[in-house]
Structure 1
Amino acid sequence: MPVPDPAAPTPADVDVRPATVFEDVATLVGPRRPDATVCFCLSYRIGSTESRRLRGPARGERVRELCAEDPPPGVVAYLDGEPVAWAAIHRRADTSFATNRRIPHVDDVDAWSLWCLRVRPGYRRTGLTAPLIEGAVRFARDRGAPAVEAYPLDNQGERIDTTMAYVGTRTMFEQAGFTVAAATSSTLDGFPRVLMRQALDGS
């Protein structure tokens, strides 16, 4: 794996693009073994019945199909042409969050959900999260989203397990311009999750 420059990248160094290249998405969220049945960031994007049915390589093929759709399943951040971070974002009504009983609906705004942030090992703690979120929000805005929601942990500064950090933290999203819109009954790693929103059209 390429060794990143020890200096933290500036937002101008990071190029966030729609996730249309399957191989780059697989590099960031795919399993190490192609026959492994793991998330591949599909758990919230498609229905639970389909997600359970897709096993091994079939999960990757489903993601390949999503990368060819408009809109694709999220965004990829690149640094010096190398894929280094991923964000899953899509219209909430077309994800499992549409029927998630633990994550409330604040109102009738046709919001988009931003539910997964992953930075590639070796590039973490280098300042990539802020431009990644900014790029994901821009991606949604460009496609007519009136608002973007996220469901991060409200960990109040306490340490969280890195495997559970994919949803982000409240502080992370506050710094990106999101505000708390509602509490949820969802917890992760022992911490409550909050529904945060950034309005894109004054809603």
Structure 2
Amino acid sequence: MGKAGGATSGIWRGTAEGGFIFMEVLIALPLLVMLLMGIMTLFFWCMRCYFINLADEELVQEVQGAFAQVMEDALRGEAIEQTGHKEQSFAIISKADPLGKHTSKEEKRSDGKFVITYGLHTMAGTKKLIRGDQLEAPLTGDHALARVTIEELWAEADGSCPGIYKLHIMGRSEVTQHAYTLESAVYLPGP
């Protein structure tokens, strides 16, 4: 009876099953590490795709929002003129509003008409679209995770059709380097 009571450890000694648990750990641990590395790689790849998508969505949103503001002002105007004091800038000349709803961002000329200027201004290494002289409130480029720089901005009269003005804006995401361009034309009958 002395031999049978405490001899359970002796059963495995000297047989083929002696290091079975140790072998399982040696095989399972590298597989577990590879599985965790695969999961981490997938997680970081998904996060990268999320931030790239966020940057591209912000690019589209900022360019569309700024262009909508330019188009709204242009549709209210009589003419669009290039301004010589800034690179890539123009002015929209508009009639006096009978309700007097012009904002402080618009300059009143001596003939009673209003001038709304749009131009590019470099702030902290990013070209931003500015309406009027509002340097502290640019229309683009203020998203922290997806900085957008405006590379092209112009408005020109169509030579073949009087009163037609072409408007163009192109922004580029500094995160993804993807570009987004919008173009349109407006008819301004003049004074």
Which band: TM-score by shorter chain? under 0.3
Larger radius of gyration: 2
Provide the TM-score with structure 1 as the length reference.
0.25
More strand by share: 2
TM superposition score normalised by structure 2: 0.26
